[in-house]
Amino acid sequence: MERPAPGPSTEGPAAVDDRPATPTADALTGAPVGAPLTAGPGRAAVSDDEEPPPGLIRHILQGIPLRRRVGILVSVGGGLLVALIAIAVFFTAQRALYDQLDESLVQRATVAAAGDLADPAILLRVSSDALAAGEVRVAIVTADGEFVTLRGNSPPLGAAEVSAARQDPATSVRTGVADGEVYRVVAVYAGEGRALVLAQELDPTRRTLSKLAVVLLVAGASGVLLAALTGVAIARAGLRPVERLISATERVARTGDLRPIPVTGGDELARLTTSFNAMLAALASSIERQRRLVADAGHELRTPLTSLRTNLELLMASERASANPGGPTLSAQDREELQADLRAQVDELANLIGDVVELARDDPPEVTAEPLDLADVVERALDRARRRAAAENVVFDVDLASCEVTGDANALERAALNLLDNAAKWSPPGGRVRVTLREGVAPERPGTAVLEVADQGPGIADEELDLVFERFYRSLDARTMSGSGLGLSIVAQVADRHHGGVSAHRAPEGGALLRFWVPRR
């Protein structure tokens, strides 16, 4: 045992370290604390010119299938979460171990400073082998910078320990290096201008932290792998409804099959599937309406075209016969009747084609809705209807109240004219047609402008009240009369486009009562 010369240790003064969480940089890496990091050999600094262009990552992700993209994003997110948790656990454990070590050293140093070990004479009689077995080094430092220690058992000493002897502050905790080993050094004031210094090796603590780092690394890698597998599973399960939608759209495009897709669950994808099924149903309904329209139009056009061709052939045969002397010819009256019949058939054919074109529109014509008085519209329709029904001496009993609405004047006039023409057609010669326009006449449709047209004809059978507004529908009695069966369908279409409605009833006069209503302005 020896007593070194007074003075600070050759380790040099050290700054007071207030409970650090990690050893000094020179103990871990050999680099001075606070030294700037520079690019080493073979490592080039990243320049701004090498940054990826904006949107490159997004462009790369857009080129990857959605399932893989979701799997990658979930895997990366899960991996980052696992890495953050592992880092947090490591640094929390590191701080806890160093705090526990510091607390233990301070407690032991305080107890030793209150006992005989703070006496230099007693310290020199302690066996250095006993201290080395406990991986502890002990020294006594005075306020003048003198210190007492054992040979080969000197802890790292410096200005921090001298400050503890001067009670400035009375306790210091720092990390130091002695004989190439890293120690945790604690100095506590021991009275009479002395400080007791205890130093404990950090190797056991660092080995524990190394084992913890290995465990966290293995657990983190397993977590990343599990996150990747989970991401793939989530992508497959979550995108299965999307794949069904894709298969359905491809099937529709390839085969035209509009069968609905089975809906499972109640999430957003189920709502998307339901919406897609509604779109398929609307498309199927539209195709079916167009198919029915074409079939019905072909059937209705066949009769006037056949009659027109027959009359034309008869007229042409008469012309050829008149060119031969003595051949049969048509009288002037028969010729006039034939020509009148041809004109009537052409007019009927033109009206039928116009009605078909009107009903064939899935979307309403682009017109600007304007505020108007429905009574004025009905008056204009009445003027035209009176001229058409003049030959049958049909009388219109009119009672119109001013009703302000918003809509297409031409479409509303055509709907009113079709109702009036239908009533005049079914009225007997000299019959009367009651025309009424009131606000809220229909009790089931308050807040509307309601037009009622009643005739004195045979009326509508109860089983046909819901059918008269369908395209090309004609009752058995109507098949021998002129018309295409589209007039009331156009009325229903105009009402629907104006957010209104139509209905058929039996009139008190015994005939038909047709009701048409649109919202008031």
Which comes out higher in pLDDT, residue 454 or 349?
Answer: 454
Which comes out higher in pLDDT, residue 130 or 231?
Answer: 231
pLDDT in tens, 258-310: 888 777 777 777 788 888 888 888 888 878 777 776 766 665 677 678 778 88
**Mean pLDDT of the region 302-324:** 76
Question: Does position 35 have pLDDT exceeding 60, yes or no?
Answer: no
pLDDT in tens, 127-163: 555 455 456 788 888 888 777 777 667 788 888 888 8
Residues sharing a CB contact under 8 Å with residue 124, sequence separation 6 or more, in sequence order: 1, 3, 148, 150
C-alpha R_g of the chain: 52
Identify the three-state secondary structure at position 46: coil
Strand partners, 513: 454, 505
pLDDT band at 31 (very low <50, low <70, confident <90, very high): very low
Residues sharing a CB contact under 8 Å with residue 349, sequence separation 6 or more, in sequence order: 301, 304, 305, 308
> How high is the pLDDT of residue 6?
39
> How high is the pLDDT of residue 376?
94
Highest mean pLDDT of the ranges 5-9, 144-148, 154-158, 383-387: 383-387
Q: Decide if 493 contacts 502 (C-beta within 8 A).
A: no
Q: Which amino acid is at 331?
A: S
pLDDT in tens, 114-128: 776 666 766 666 655
> How high is the pLDDT of residue 2?
38
CB 53: neighbour CB atoms within 10 A? Answer: 7
Q: List the one residue out of 484, 216, 469 whose CA is nearest residue 348.
A: 484
pLDDT in tens, 424-440: 988 888 899 999 999 87
Q: Decide if 8 contacts 145 (C-beta within 8 A).
A: yes
pLDDT band at 515 (very low <50, low <70, confident <90, very high): very high
> How high is the pLDDT of residue 284?
85
**Mean pLDDT of the region 505-519:** 90
The full 3-state SS of 395-454, as one line of letters, equals: EEEEEECCCEEEECHHHHHHHHHHHHHHHHHHCCCCCEEEEEEEECCCCCCCCEEEEEEE
> How high is the pLDDT of residue 477?
53
Question: Does position 45 have pLDDT exceeding 50, yes or no?
Answer: no
Which comes out higher in pLDDT, residue 48 or 238?
Answer: 238
Q: Decide if 191 contacts 36 (C-beta within 8 A).
A: no
Identify the three-state secondary structure at position 389: coil
Highest mean pLDDT of the ranges 214-228, 402-416, 439-453: 402-416
> How high is the pLDDT of residue 377?
94
Which comes out higher in pLDDT, residue 179 or 206?
Answer: 206
pLDDT band at 24 (very low <50, low <70, confident <90, very high): very low
Identify the three-state secondary structure at position 171: strand
pLDDT band at 355 (very low <50, low <70, confident <90, very high): low
pLDDT band at 22 (very low <50, low <70, confident <90, very high): very low
User: How far is residue 471's CA from residue 408's CA, in Å, rounded to a whole number?
Assistant: 22
Average pLDDT, the chain: 75
Alpha carbon of 390 to those of 351, 395, 420: distances in Å?
Answer: 20, 9, 13
Least confident of 120-124, 166-170, 177-181, 457-461: 120-124
Highest mean pLDDT of the ranges 263-277, 357-371, 476-490: 263-277
Percent of the chain topping pLDDT 70: 73
Report the Cα 156 to chain-centroid distance in Å: 65
DSSP letter assigned to residue 20 = -
DSSP letter assigned to residue 134 = T
> How high is the pLDDT of residue 387?
83
> How high is the pLDDT of residue 28?
28
> How high is the pLDDT of residue 251?
82
Question: Does position 77 have pLDDT exceeding 90, yes or no?
Answer: no
**Mean pLDDT of the region 237-266:** 79
Count of alpha carbons within 13 angstroms of residue 402, beta-carbon side: 3
Strand partners, 138: 198
User: How far is residue 264's CA from residue 271's CA, in Å, rounded to a whole number?
Assistant: 10
Residue whose pair of structure tokens reads 């009833």 in the numeric block: 505
Question: Does position 229 have pLDDT exceeding 80, yes or no?
Answer: yes
User: How far is residue 419's CA from residue 58's CA, in Å, rounded to a whole number?
Assistant: 62
Least confident of 53-62, 63-72, 195-204: 53-62
Question: Does position 352 have pLDDT exceeding 70, yes or no?
Answer: no
Identify the three-state secondary structure at position 311: helix
> How high is the pLDDT of residue 258?
81
CB 429: neighbour CB atoms within 10 A? Answer: 9
